[in-house]
Amino acid sequence: MISLVVPILNEEELINELVSRSVSVLEKLSEEFELIFVDDGSTDTSLHKLIGHQEHDSRIKVISLSKNFGHQAAFTAGLENASGAYVAMMDGDLQDPPEVLEAMYQKIVNEDYDIVSGRRSDRKGSQTKNGMTRLFHQVFKSVANLEDLENAGNFSMMNRQALTALLSMKERVRYLPGLRSFVGFKQGFVDYVRDERLQGQAKMTFGKLSLLAADAIFSFSKFPIRLCLILGFVGTIVFMFAGIYVLTAKILGFAITGWPSTVLSIYFLGSIQLIFLGIIGEYVYRIYKESQKRPLYFIRKIYQNEEKK
C-alpha cells in the first residue's frame, strides 16, 4: 500500500483538482493506496468538499483536527495515521506536482532508496519569495550541517522503516525536512520545478516562513549560541584596544572632549547584550515547550471507509 499525506488549510478552490490529480497518480503506482487529507482547522468549505470526495471514494481518508495546530503538526497527524508500506508527504496547494510522486516511487523501488525527497531545481512565482526561500536553504545548509537538505521541503516519499525512525522523534518544535534528513538511511532526490499557486491565497506568509526558519535553525544548529560567544570575544578585543587608545590619547594630551564615544560604547554594548538575551531566550522557549509535553494535535473526527475503522 502507498499512503499520501496532504495537510489542508482553506484550500476550497483547489480541492477538486488536488483530489483528481493525486488519485490519478496513485492509481498508476499501486492498486492499493490511501489518500490522507488532514484538515488543519479550515474555516471555509474545504472539509465539506473533502468529506464529499471521501464518501464517493473509500480510498480517501479525512482527518479533521480540533483546531489549527500548524503545518508540521498536521503532517505529523497524517504520518502517524498512515498504514502504507510507502508513505509520501505533499503540500495541498499543488505547487508540488503530484505527478512527481511516480519518479519518487520508482527510485525507492528500483534503486533501493529509503527516502526520496523532491528537490526544487527552479521555482515559478514571486521572485522575492523564491529568493528568500533559496537564501534560507543556503543558510540552513551551512549552519545545520545537513548537507543533503538544500532546496528540499516537505515533498517526499519514504519506506516504513524510515517513517518509523522519523516518528520516533517526539520533539514539539518540529521541522520535518530536518528530521527526515537527520534519521539518515539511504536518501535520494528527484529534481522538479515548483509550480505557481493555481488559485487562492498563499497560506505560508512571510511571518510564518520566518517562524519556520527560526524553528529549523534553532532546532538543528548551535550556530546562534556560538555567534554570541564569537561576538563577545570580538567585542572584548575591540574595546580593549579602544581602551588602550583612549588611555594613550589622554596621556599624550590629544583626547577628544565630550561624551559621544562613551555614549556610543554604552549603546553598542547594550545592543549586543539584548541580542544575546534574545538568542538565549529562543533556546529557553524551546526547552520550555519541550518540557510541557503537550500533544502536537487533537483529532476531532476521522472520516474513512467503515471496513478500515
Structural domain span for residue 228: 223-292
Alpha-carbon span 34 to 59, nearest angstrom: 5
What confidence tens digit (pLDDT) does each residue in 268-286 have? 677 677 777 777 777 777 7
Cell of residue 120, nine digits: 526544487
Do 169 and 249 belong together in one domain?
Answer: no
Alpha-carbon span 64 to 40, nearest angstrom: 7
Q: What is the pTM of this model?
A: 0.66
Do 85 and 115 belong together in one domain?
Answer: yes
Do 157 and 276 belong together in one domain?
Answer: no
Do 188 and 45 belong together in one domain?
Answer: yes
Query: Into how many domains does the chain fold?
Result: 2
Alpha-carbon span 70 to 9, nearest angstrom: 9
Do 81 and 196 belong together in one domain?
Answer: yes
Residue 79 contacts residue 167 (beta carbons within 8 Å): yes
Cell of residue 180, nine digits: 527526515
CATH number at residue 213: 3.90.550.10
Do 168 and 83 belong together in one domain?
Answer: yes
Do 156 and 267 belong together in one domain?
Answer: no
Do 161 and 234 belong together in one domain?
Answer: no
Positions of the chain with pLDDT lower than 50, given as ranges: 309
Do 160 and 189 belong together in one domain?
Answer: yes
- What's the N-to-C CA distance of the chain in angstroms? 16
Do 200 and 76 belong together in one domain?
Answer: yes
Q: Using the 8-state DSSP alphabet, how is residue 96 labeled?
A: S
Q: Using the 8-state DSSP alphabet, how is residue 3 labeled?
A: E
Do 233 and 215 belong together in one domain?
Answer: no
Do 234 and 186 belong together in one domain?
Answer: no
In the prediction, which pLDDT does 41 show?
87
